[in-house]
Amino acid sequence: MKEFSGVILVDMDEILVEISPKFYNVVRLNWLKYEPWLNDLGPLTREEILSRKQFLIEKWLMKEKFLNDVDKFKEVKHIIYAGLLQDFFKTDVYKDLEPTNFAKHILMNPVVLEKNEIKKIYILTKYPTNALEMLESKKKFIEKYFKSPKIELLPVPSGKKKSEVVKENNIAWDLFVDDEIVNIKDFVENCNIEGKEFLIPAYGYNKMPELLDFAIKEKGGAYSYYDAI
Ligand SMILES: [Mg+2]
């Protein structure tokens, strides 16, 4: 019989809080800096931003002449990232943001948190090691909204896989919630996923690739999407 650990792993960005609409608006606020490299799509709604087909916003917006040239692409990515480090990552990113409906229904819901079946919820979130301000901002947001002793932050430094941190901490889990297909793929490739489930918000950029769908089923796991836009 399947044994439940009662442990849920949840990603933070675009699961507990939407940061890409803010990211997009920060780029627009500093438009003169980014204008040489990016296409101007004008003001967009959160729905339009979350429906984008490309996960990385800077890649989504990049002018085609840079996308088609490998060396130019690297160079431009570098310039844009240097700007974003100052304008976004090294700021108090989460300060003016609100929890998502998912966060409200699960991590801020006493009915869910009081259930004996739920032992622990780990917030498994990546942060850039060259912008520790972002990790500090994440901590403040978590302290402000997620107060249950069952909820714990598990930070993952950029360059490290989420599955590595889960293994290092010997965490048995039942459910993993994340918006990025690369993170789901990481778990499928590096963890025992038999009897485990993945839950994914339905955005424009994270359709399930056929091969990954096959691998999940082959390894005895399951996945589903929920409406998030
Ligand atoms: Mg995310």
Give the tens place of pLDDT for each residue, 4-34.
889 999 999 999 999 999 999 999 999 999 9
**198 CB burial (10 A radius; 0-12, 13-18, 19+):** buried
What residue spans define the domains of the chain?
A: 7-18+95-227, 20-89
User: What is the model's pLDDT at position 4?
Assistant: 83
User: What is the model's pLDDT at position 214?
Assistant: 98
pTM for this prediction: 0.96
Whether 210 shows a pLDDT value over 60: the answer reads yes
Whether 2 shows a pLDDT value over 70: the answer reads no
Instruction: Tell me the pLDDT of the chain averaged across its residues.
Output: 96
- Architecture of domain 7-18+95-227 in this structure: 3-Layer(aba) Sandwich (3.40)
CA of 178 relative to ligand 1 center, distance in Å: 6
Q: At what angle do helices 70-84 and 20-29 cross, to 10 degrees?
A: 90
Q: Which residues surround ligand 1, an ion (CB under 5 A)?
A: 11, 13-14, 179
Element containing residue 70 per DSSP (H, E) = helix 70-84
Rounded to the nearest 10°, the torsion over CA 116, 180, 210, 161 is -80
CA of 203 relative to ligand 1 center, distance in Å: 11
Tokens 């990603």 belong to residue = 11
User: What is the model's pLDDT at position 47?
Assistant: 98
Start-to-end C-alpha separation, the chain: 36
Would you say 88 and 127 are in contact if contact means Cβ atoms under 8 Å apart? no
CA of 169 relative to ligand 1 center, distance in Å: 21
Task: Calculate mean pLDDT across residues 177-191.
Answer: 98
Residue 83 CA to chain centroid, in angstroms?
21
Would you say 200 and 223 are in contact if contact means Cβ atoms under 8 Å apart? yes
CA of 89 relative to ligand 1 center, distance in Å: 15
CA of 218 relative to ligand 1 center, distance in Å: 25
User: What is the model's pLDDT at position 96?
Assistant: 97
Q: What is the percent of the chain with per-residue pLDDT over 70, rounded to a whole number?
A: 99
The 10s digit of each residue's pLDDT in 86-126 is 999 999 999 999 999 999 999 999 999 999 999 999 999 99
Q: What is the percent of the chain with per-residue pLDDT over 90, rounded to a whole number?
A: 97
